[in-house]
Amino acid sequence: MNILIQKQWAGMNIEELFRNIWEFPKKVIHELRMDKAVTINGQELNWKTPLKHGDEIVITLRETLDLDFPTSLPLEILYEDDYLLAVNKPEGMATHPNENERNSLVNAVAFYLKSIGAAPKARHIHRLDKDTTGVVLFAKNALSKVVLDRMLNDRKIKRTYWALADGIIKNKKGEIAVPIGRDRHHPTRRRVSKTGQYAITHYNVLETFFKENLSLIECSLDTGRTHQIRVHLSYIGHPLSGDKLYGGSSNFQRQALHARKLEFIHPFTLVKIQIIAPFLDNPPIFEKYL
């Protein structure tokens, strides 16, 4: 893993970068030090040595033994660099596999990584429901995952979804802040529950279609609970169109939810990244409403 020192980090040392900027766990920092896994411009230097703009840090990572099972499946790559990968998930594909199913996005990404000579370990940073489409972010190594996981938890990765909701939503902007828990009467369904997990969804109505009785909305999340958008929209009386599990109409073959965009500052290059996922449905769901 190669990282060029940016202007903002000049004068810091390796210890400060690892602890204060990227917030690597203490165990990871200790392992890197013990393994002598870090070089600066090709040399093993003291970790307290101040770094200069343009210096190159090379981190040699331990390879994980817990590798994924690669499966050859179509994969649309939206963004890729040495640290991370963003792909466009189609409907009907689970994000990660289970005991009986290895045709997941994780398996497809593992196959791609193997094809480019990398270890087939697909580290997803977040996930989408099986019938939700759109962008999913993966880390290409263990350290990238540590940093991206923390960024997601700290809401430094902005996720924007587009949805078609049943009915005409009158408020052009709104916030749904109610906790979500399991539905004890159904194995997979979630529900609003006082004892559930804290959850906030923000929405913005982009367009309303009175003839079809639909609202096109943009959603962003402060939290990432299972089925969060689906549960919250159903709670306010505007379930996702096509979402039969939560009371939606049968207008579409799946819930009309698409992870449209990811935005964040790249943790290792400090470049602003914006990733937009094209629509994948055939027949189309969103296109005629744009």
116-125 pLDDT per residue, tens: 999 899 999 9
pLDDT band at 290 (very low <50, low <70, confident <90, very high): confident
Alpha carbon 20 to chain centroid, angstroms: 23
Beta carbons within 8 Å of 190's beta carbon, 6+ residues apart? 180, 181, 182, 183, 196, 225, 226, 227, 230, 231
Beta carbons within 8 Å of 114's beta carbon, 6+ residues apart? 70, 120
pLDDT band at 65 (very low <50, low <70, confident <90, very high): low
| Percent above pLDDT 90 for the chain | 86
Q: What is the mean pLDDT of residues 1-17?
A: 95
Q: Are the CB atoms for 31 and 62 separated by under 8 Å? A: yes
Question: For position 100, what pLDDT does the model report?
Answer: 75
β-pair partners for 218:
162, 204
Amino acid identity of residue 56, one-letter, is E
Beta carbons within 8 Å of 30's beta carbon, 6+ residues apart? none
Segment 129-147, tens digit of pLDDT: 999 999 999 999 999 999 9
Q: What is the mean pLDDT of residues 221-243?
A: 94
Nearest one of 152, 147, 154, 156 to 18, comparing CA atoms: 147
Distance CA 251, CA 213 (A): 11
User: Which residue among the candidates 35, 55, 68, 129 is catalytic per the annotation?
Assistant: 129
Exposure letters 226-248 (e unless 16+ CB within 10 A, then b): bbbbbbbbbbbebbbbbbebbeb
Segment 266-276, tens digit of pLDDT: 999 999 999 99
Under DSSP, the state recorded for 81 is: -
Question: For position 68, what pLDDT does the model report?
Answer: 86
Q: What is the mean pLDDT of residues 64-74?
A: 84
Nearest one of 85, 222, 253, 93 to 158, comparing CA atoms: 222
Give the tokens for residue 187. 């194995």
pLDDT higher than 80, residue 63: no
129 included as an active-site residue: yes
| Range picked from 62-66, 193-197, 261-265 for highest mean pLDDT | 261-265
Exposure of 183 in the CB half-sphere (CA atoms within 13 A): 13
Question: For position 187, what pLDDT does the model report?
Answer: 87
Question: For position 289, what pLDDT does the model report?
Answer: 86
Structural domains in the chain plus CATH codes: 2-59 (3.10.290), 64-154 (3.30.2350.10), 160-259 (3.30.2350.10)
Segment 249-268, tens digit of pLDDT: 999 999 999 999 999 999 99
Mean pLDDT of the chain: 93
Nearest one of 28, 25, 26 to 38, comparing CA atoms: 28
pLDDT higher than 80, residue 99: no
